[in-house]
Structure 1
Amino acid sequence: MEKAIREEIVRFVMTSPENLQEDGATPYFEEPLVGFAAADDPLFIEYKKIIGDFHLTPGEFLSEPAGASSAAQGTVISWVLPLTAVTRKSNRVEDLWPSRAWARTRHFGEVLNCSLRRHVVDYLQQRGSRAVAPQLSERWKPVDAPDGPTSSWSERHAAYAAGLGTFSLNDALITPKGIAHRLGSVITDLKLSPTPVTAAHYRWNCLRFRDGGCGVCINRCPVGALSDAGHDKEICRNYVYGTVPRTVGEQYGVTATGCGLCQVKIPCEEQIP
């Protein structure tokens, strides 16, 4: 069943007309990566301490139509949608605003990602399993935590639990396809084999934490939101969700632009360095 789910996610993304830039030919995303985490993985309980007690477990999300215990033997299906080389290349030359292709991927690529979430839920329900996409659930909500903006479900932390990568200095996830991507997940009561987390440390793929080197992303940030002290989420949010869309959103024909300057022209852009 794991193979069938992977193949269905790949098929949906690679054949969807929503996965095309405005030229009607260039995809937003390359072939997805897919991983699986046990719904009762202790990591999801740990996240209530690491992120905050507002961060819900898979069982709490799946309890919407029934009891929370129904997800005890279930699975979190997580995926990585890697941005195409042409989009990454277009953003490498920028040093203040995201490129048009990057911004439109953030906006319209996430439309595709939401369609994929709904499709995976339908795919599982048609086969007799219960499923919910946390990002589309009424239980998902943004949260202003003491260390910056977050939410009741983290796609990055779900992907980490599903063995898809480890965290970076800029708080993104470095996967085998790099750091330039979108993430998504669905929770189901279907029991699937988990993908092992093999990294030696939750930041192992980031050279800054592995051996003290790199740090290139620090100087890629146009507003100084990155330093050896970490990622200032408030500065980042104000720029990415305020300044950037106000400045170039209308020009690019989008309302959500992203930024992504710290995710390109760096060693982990398209690989684990």
Structure 2
Amino acid sequence: MREALCQMIERLVREEPGNRFPGEGGPYFTEPLIGFAAADDPLFTQYQTVIGPFHLTPTELAQHETPPWQPATVICWALPISEETRRSNRTETIYPSRAWALTRQHGEAFNSALRRQVVQFLVDAGYQAFAPQLHPAWREYPDSPVGIASSWSERHAAYAAGLGTFSLNDALITPRGIAHRLGSVVTDLAIEPSARPWRDHRSNCLWYREGSCGACIGRCPVGALSKEGHDKAICRGYVYGAVPEAVGAEYGVTSTGCGLCQTKVPCEGRIPAGKVSPLAVKPPEGESPSP
């Protein structure tokens, strides 16, 4: 089932028309990265301290199902944004490129469809499944102690599934870089968890690994990034307010994203090399992932 599931996700990303720009254009996303976490991984409970008590564990979400059931695995994927789209965004300094905005709106619509198709694949095979991001229990908390947060974080699920580590701008740096969209599905199908090979929960970021880089700070047009990290309120006000107001109608979308701090940076399409390896000498202990 693990192999069949991965093949199905890869095929949908490769072949589905929803993953292509209008007019026979190229794909929004290239070949996905796929990882698995145990539903009872202690990290999901730890997130209730790191993020907030409102962040639901896979088991808590499954208790909202009718009837409730016991989950076994969290399936996660990262959809790397195409090189062509990333290239178009590198030259921008204030607003995202049209290709980036189309990827944010229509590419994320494809990602939501992918979530539903993965759930249906599992249900058809006789398993229970749901997508946390589409679950009726999903809630957003704009004024939490860690800033804007929600009852399920795709980034933190992806970290638990070994897909990458956190960055100065709060995104996830995967082996294919930081420019991507994330998705997840919870199921009672038991799949062996993926390894988390990283030295610690921030080791793919050069700033946290060895105090160098910080390129994303200069890419932010509104000063939402600094050496202290990411100001979510400033970022959100710009990405969900000023940017759509400025270019949404021109691009024909209501959601634009921004992505300037995810392009024209060393981690755009890879884990950047440095003086210190991001890989762990031994499995990390006492992980405390960023909110």
Shorter-chain TM-score above 0.5: yes
Structure 1 counterpart of 2:59, which letter?
G
1:33 aligns to what?
33
Q: TM-score, normalised by structure 2?
A: 0.92
Count the aligned residue pairs. Answer: 270
1:156-171 correspondence runs (5 A): 156-171=155-170
1:59 aligns to what?
59
Identity of aligned residues (%): 59
Tell me the secondary structure at the aligned position of residue 103 of structure 1: helix
1:146 aligns to what?
145
1:24 lines up with 2:24 in the alignment: yes
Tell me the secondary structure at the aligned position of residue 112 of structure 1: helix
1:200 aligns to what?
199
How many angstroms apart in 2 are the aligned matches of 1:53 and 1:81?
A: 29
1:44 aligns to what?
44
How many angstroms apart in 2 are the aligned matches of 1:39 and 1:149?
A: 24
1:120 lines up with 2:118 in the alignment: yes
How many angstroms apart in 2 are the aligned matches of 1:8 and 1:61?
A: 25
Tell me the secondary structure at the aligned position of residue 272 of structure 1: coil
1:1-273 correspondence runs (5 A): 1-63=1-63, 64-67=65-68, 70-71=70-71, 74-144=72-142, 145-273=144-272
Q: CA RMSD in A?
A: 0.8
Note the alpha carbon deviations across 1:216-270, whole angstroms, 9 max, x for none: 0000000000001110000000000000001100110100000000000000000
Note the alpha carbon deviations across 1:194-227, whole angstroms, 9 max, x for none: 0011101100000000000000000000000000
Larger mean Cα displacement after TM superposition, 254-263 or 59-68: 59-68
The gaps in structure 2 that reach 5 residues or longer are 273-291
Q: What's the CA shift for 1:4? A: 1.3
Structure 2 counterpart of 1:244, which letter?
V
Q: Is the 8 A contact 2:129 2:185 kept in 1?
A: yes
Note the alpha carbon deviations across 1:156-194, whole angstroms, 9 max, x for none: 000000000000000000001000000000000111010
Q: Is the 8 A contact 1:61 1:132 kept in 2?
A: no
The gaps in structure 1 that reach 5 residues or longer are none
Q: TM-score, normalised by structure 1?
A: 0.98
Tell me the secondary structure at the aligned position of residue 5 of structure 1: helix
